Amino acid sequence: MYAARVANVRLRDFLGQPAAAELLQGVVRSGRPAHAYLLQGPAGVGKGTAALAFARALLCERPEGDACGECAACHKTAHLSHPDLRFLFPVGGEEKDLDETISETLEAWRADPFFVFAYEKAASIRLSLTRDLIRELAYEPFEAPRRVVVVRDADRMREDQYSAMLKSLEEPGGATVWILTTARPSKLPATIRSRCQKVRFAALPEPLLRDFLAERVGVTEREARILAALSGGSLSKALVLRHMKPIEVRDEALELLEPALRGDPAALWRASQRFMNYGRTGRETMRRMFEVHQLWLRDLLRAQAGLPRESLANRDHEPEIRRQAARLDPREIRRRLMVLEEALQSIDFNVTADLTVFSALARVAGARFGQNDWPSHTATRWDY
């Protein structure tokens, strides 16, 4: 998915999306692209990179199903400087700082072969930028036969922004190709979706991610294994997590369960509060902790199924995994996975964070309220 620079990527270099790459190459070979394409699929699986590679091929002076990589147009698109290649993407901050924010983002994208777009929660594609672009589209392209507009994370628009874009999608003319990407197609209005050719992307296979991280990104084999398993098929998520010392994150999460396994609720409560830093730890850190425990339980199921050591994400803990797998019933592992799934869902709501950690880990360790030394509790929902 990545070459020396992320902007140098071509469709033939694509990672783990053969169907999407073949479809887009066929469009380039035909020489008759549609007026709009919607690249949709999970976050972090290459939609934005594919949009850029597709745009480069459409602007190439001598394409043969892909960008040649040698013509003047290809050199310009590789540096994101082609006058007929335009971008829209979510930005945060003040309106007066938009030009500087966009310039800094594009410069970071040019410089970093593993650049990952990250947004504030309130970031959106600004209406002023959309209107400026639409006014520009009324004129002929500068150099190429067509102009290509890449809209990253198109679901991050307000209703008035979609309305401004809709007319251009309805009557684009022959000189403009729109390429939209989204991980949340249901958030896009039906009027936008219906005017685009859809190109679907899938989560990346775990072995492919593991090999890419070890061979191309340069993380250790041990870290690559954990990152690939925690990323859920998203290369972008794996690239972000690699800066967070994944082995230490894993070990801290597993240590947090120890007081619950000993049956010491007081120690577990103190550990939960320390982990949440008395309310200052972010929800994403909390989410990663629960995902580590899900990964451990997945390894237990794989061990019970008789799969080899190579299939275990936490293979450096293989003896302990085999021991627990022999002791636990598969139905009990399923119950614990359900506990973690409920905890992950609750993170997005207004929950008491340290109490959520305490409750989830207590139940993952096998304890249920109302049993043994735990306080009595009449709610049967905790009994799964």
Question: In this predicted model, which residue has the larger pLDDT, 17 or 167?
Answer: 17
Amino acid at 344: L
Confidence at 97, pLDDT banded by 50, 70, 90: confident
Tens digits of per-residue pLDDT, 290-331? 999 999 999 999 999 999 998 999 999 999 999 999 999 999
CB 73 within 8 A of CB 82: yes
- Rounded mean pLDDT, 193-214: 94
* pLDDT of 374 above 80: no
Among 95, 106, 7, 92, smallest CA distance to 50 is for 7
* pLDDT of 159 above 50: yes
pLDDT of residue 8: 75
Among 360, 380, 361, smallest CA distance to 370 is for 380
Q: Which residues make Cβ contacts (< 8 Å) with residue 214, sequence separation at least 6?
A: 220, 221, 224
Confidence at 375, pLDDT banded by 50, 70, 90: very low
Determine what percent of the chain is predicted with pLDDT higher than 90: 60
Confidence at 369, pLDDT banded by 50, 70, 90: very low
pLDDT of residue 347: 86
CB atoms within 10 A of CB 175: 15
* pLDDT of 288 above 80: yes
pLDDT of residue 333: 93
For residue 112, give Cα distances in angstroms to 5, 51, 109, 224, 235: 7, 18, 6, 20, 15
- Rounded mean pLDDT, 231-249: 91
pLDDT of residue 2: 41
Q: Which residues make Cβ contacts (< 8 Å) with residue 375, sequence separation at least 6?
A: 369
pLDDT of residue 381: 47
Q: What is the pTM of this model?
A: 0.83
Tens digits of per-residue pLDDT, 312-322? 999 999 999 99
* pLDDT of 121 above 90: no
Question: In this predicted model, which residue has the larger pLDDT, 105 or 13?
Answer: 105
pLDDT of residue 368: 56
* pLDDT of 3 above 50: no
CB 4 within 8 A of CB 116: no
* pLDDT of 377 above 60: no
- Domains recognised in the chain with CATH numbers: 6-200 (3.40.50.300), 245-383 (1.20.272)
- Rounded mean pLDDT, 365-383: 52
pLDDT of residue 367: 59
Encode the chain in three state secondary structure: CCCCCHHHCCHHHCCCCHHHHHHHHHHHHHCCCCCEEEEECCCCCCHHHHHHHHHHHHHCCCCCCCCCCCCHHHHHHHCCCCCCEEEECCECCCHHHHHHHHHHHHHHHHHCCCCCCCCCCCCECCHHHHHHHHHHCCCCCCCCCCEEEEECCCCCCCHHHHHHHHHHHHCCCCCEEEEEEECCHHHCCHHHHCCCEEEECCCCCHHHHHHHHHHHHCCCHHHHHHHHHHCCCCHHHHHHHHHHCHHHHHHHHHHHCHHHHCCCHHHHHHHHHHHCHHHCCCHHHHHHHHHHHHHHHHHHHHHHCCCCHHHCCCHHHHHHHHHHHHHCCHHHHHHHHHHHHHHHHHCCCCCCHHHHHHHHHHHHCCCCCCCCCCCCCCCHHHHC
Q: Which residues, in sequence order, are bridge partners of residue 88?
A: 151
Q: Which residues make Cβ contacts (< 8 Å) with residue 189, sequence separation at least 6?
A: 159, 162
pLDDT of residue 70: 92
Structure tokens at 241: 């997590």
CB 74 within 8 A of CB 67: yes
Determine what percent of the chain is predicted with pLDDT higher than 70: 93
CB 152 within 8 A of CB 39: no
